[in-house]
Amino acid sequence: MNARIAAAVIQLLTVVPFLLGIYSVTFYGAAAQRAAEAEMARQNQPVELLTRNGISFAGSEGLAIVIIVILAALALLNLADRRIGRILSWIFQPILLVLGAVIIPGQVFTARFLEPVLPGVDVHALVAAALDAMPAWAPAASWAKLVLTTIGSIAVVVLLIRAAKATSR
C-alpha cells in the first residue's frame, strides 16, 4: 500500500472511535450521569461535587465533531493526492497528538484522574457505575482513540513524509 493511502486510512480509522464516543455519549451519557449521581448519593456524598468539579459523564462532544470533520477532510485530500492535504496533515496531526496525550487519558484512566479531585469518594465505584450505563465497547473505543490519536498521528506524519519524498524523486 502506498504511504499516502496508508496515512489516509489511519486518518479515517481515527474517525471511528470519535464517532463511537459521540454515539455513546448521545445515547447513554445521561444514564451514565444519573448512575454516577446515584453512586455519589449511595456513598453519602453531595451530588453537587460532580458539577462543582466539572465532572460529567454526559459530556460535550463539540470538539470530537470538529476533529471528525478535519480528519475526514484531510483523509479525502490525501486520497486525492492533494499537496495541501499533506501540508495540513503535518500541521493538524501533531496538534491531535497533543490533544490525544492530554485529553484522552482522562477518558481511559478516569478513576486515576478523579481521585485527587474527589477526595473521600470511592472514585472506582463511581466510574464503574457510570461505565455500567455505557455500552460494553465504550472503553475499547476510548483506548482506540488514545492509540490512534497518539501513535496513529505519528504514523500519519511519517507516512506523509515518505510520500512527499517519493513524489519528489
Domain extent at residue 34:
3-168
- Distance, first Cα to last Cα, the chain: 18
Cell triple for residue 120? 473521600
Whole-angstrom distance, CA of residue 34 vs CA of residue 76:
40
* Residue 119: predicted pLDDT: 94
C-alpha angle 50-52-58 in degrees, rounded to nearest 5: 45
What pLDDT sits at residue 36? 97
The CA-atom distances, in angstroms, between 131 and each of 89, 120, 162 are 34, 20, 41
Give the per-residue pLDDT at 166: 87
- Counted domains in the chain: 1
The tens-digit pLDDT sequence of the chain (169 residues) is 799 999 999 999 999 999 999 999 999 999 999 999 999 999 999 999 999 999 998 877 899 999 999 999 999 999 999 999 999 999 999 999 999 999 899 889 999 999 999 999 999 999 999 999 999 999 999 999 999 999 999 999 999 999 999 887 7
Whether the predicted model's global pTM rises above the 0.85 cut: yes
